[in-house]
Amino acid sequence: MLRRAAASKRPLRRVAAATQRVTRPRTLPTKTPPLPSVTAAPVASPVCLTLTTPFKCTKGTPSHASNLVLLDPTVFDHPIRRDILHLCVTHYRDSLRQGSANTKTRSERSGTGRKPFKQKGGGVARAGDLRSPIQHGGGVAFGPKPRDFSTKLPRKVLQMGMRVALSLKVKENLFGVMPSMDWPNGKTKHLSQKIDALGLRRTLFVTGETPPVELERAMRNIPLTKLTTLDQLSIYEILQWQRVIMDIKAVDMVEAVLRKEVPLASVALEES
């Protein structure tokens, strides 16, 4: 009886709930708001540097406008990434390890293979031969063998490391650009006096062409200076030396290899 009474009350509850519904006025659908326009990042301004006084000054003083050089911001104004520099330096130093350490195992040691004494009755531990690692003059157990310590690093990571290293020197005002690195004679004394006059000690000079014979001969015996070419330049050397100076040709070659293409949308935004 109780179940029948409960079943008879269910329809009444549904009707009461239907009568209590509030009718809402019908509204027209509103238009969806437009999505915010995504604008590309503006093009970064070039890095402006003053040319460093060359070793051999030509006649005529250059004007202020021609004494400036504009550097590509994608190469010389890259965000500093210490993790990338650490990877590149570790990669370079791993490649310098020779890995030539070698020890002889028991099979490579010279000596007889005869059993030194009988197996039992001597009161000492049994021994098979005198070339065992526990014997004096025997082989080495788990000793080093020739191996390759070099590690692999993607090319794009190495290129980013070069950008970061050059940008770090630019931000620390330790990067310079010379119009050329010509030197008339091979005298070390004259070039050393010129470098001291310009305040360029502890400097790495990088040229993008074959270095002049006179300059290479004169700088060979000058302490705290080094002349290198662009194909021999490494990230480790850039960080190791206090100051880096390149010539115009080296800068052009670096920018041609490490330059990043700017999106067309950002170029249009900058022009507008």
Higher pLDDT, 146 or 32: 146
Give the predicted TM-score (pTM) of the model: 0.74
Q: Can you give the pLDDT at residue 185?
A: 85
Task: Determine phi and psi for 9, rounding to 5 degrees.
Answer: -85, -20
Q: Model confidence at 138, in pLDDT bands (50, 70, 90)? A: very high
CATH class of the domain defined by 47-52+67-97+155-271: alpha beta
Q: Is the pLDDT of residue 43 over 80?
A: no
Q: Is 137 helix (H, G, I), strand (E, B) or coil?
A: coil
H helix or E strand, kind and range, residue 243: strand 243-247
Please, is 206 exposed, middle or buried when counting C-beta atoms within 10 Å of its C-beta (0-12, 13-18, 19+)? buried
Q: Is the pLDDT of residue 8 over 70?
A: no
Q: Can you give the pLDDT at residue 2?
A: 44
Q: Model confidence at 64, in pLDDT bands (50, 70, 90)? A: very low
Q: Model confidence at 249, in pLDDT bands (50, 70, 90)? A: very high
How far apart CA 179 and CA 15 sit, in angstroms, is 95
Q: Can you give the pLDDT at residue 265?
A: 43
Q: Model confidence at 242, in pLDDT bands (50, 70, 90)? A: very high
Asked which of 31-35, 60-64, 92-96, 202-206 is least confident by mean pLDDT, the reply is 60-64
Q: Can you give the pLDDT at residue 44?
A: 75
Q: Is the pLDDT of residue 87 over 90?
A: yes
Mean pLDDT of the chain: 84
Q: Is the pLDDT of residue 17 over 70?
A: no
Q: Can you give the pLDDT at residue 41?
A: 52
Let me know the angle formed at the C-alpha of 229 by 55 and 249, rounded to the nearest 5 degrees: 65
Name 68's bridge partners: 50
Tens digits of residue pLDDT in 193-236: 999 999 999 999 999 999 989 999 999 999 999 999 999 999 99
The average pLDDT across 241-245 equals 96
Q: Can you give the pLDDT at residue 63?
A: 46
Higher pLDDT, 8 or 110: 110
User: Are the CB atoms for 182 and 215 separated by under 8 Å?
Assistant: yes
